[in-house]
Structure 1
Amino acid sequence: MVCKGICTQHKAQRIHGINRYIQGQKMCSVCAIFIYWDGKHCPCCNFVLRTKPRNSKNRRQLQIIQTVKRI
């Protein structure tokens, strides 16, 4: 699993003040880049994309927004 550089075409820009995962961005741990991608795997290295933040503060924020969307 090596980055081939394809993911840079799908690179997502950061909007300050809003969590990247809430915006619909996903992170590839191998390529170390946030991308907009509908699939579960990185188009570049085929590694599974992270869809949830590791940080507990951001994780709680994402859970709150997801529960509001369900209601």
Structure 2
Amino acid sequence: MVDEVAARESPPVSCWTGRVQMVLGGGRVRIILPHAVEITTRLRDLRAATDSERAAFEAATVRYAETRPRR
């Protein structure tokens, strides 16, 4: 899913793309970003990701998994 509300022109920030982790009450959902950060957003602010956005998400997830510090 893509949270378009997160996009800004100044400073430039792209939309957040992530997987829905949990549907919360009150029209809110929790999504997880490729670098394992969870955010809570409104369901009405989300749209389905395009194929290219999904591919970019998957690639970023793999890169993060390969480079994140191990405990």
Q: Tell me, yes or no, whether TM beats 0.5.
A: no
The bucket for the TM-score relative to the shorter chain is 0.3 to 0.5
Compare the two structures and name the one with the higher helix fraction. Answer: 2
Q: TM-score, normalised by structure 2?
A: 0.40
Q: TM-score, normalised by structure 1?
A: 0.40
Compare the two structures and name the one with the higher strand fraction. Answer: 2
Higher RCO (C-alpha 8 Å, min separation 6): 1
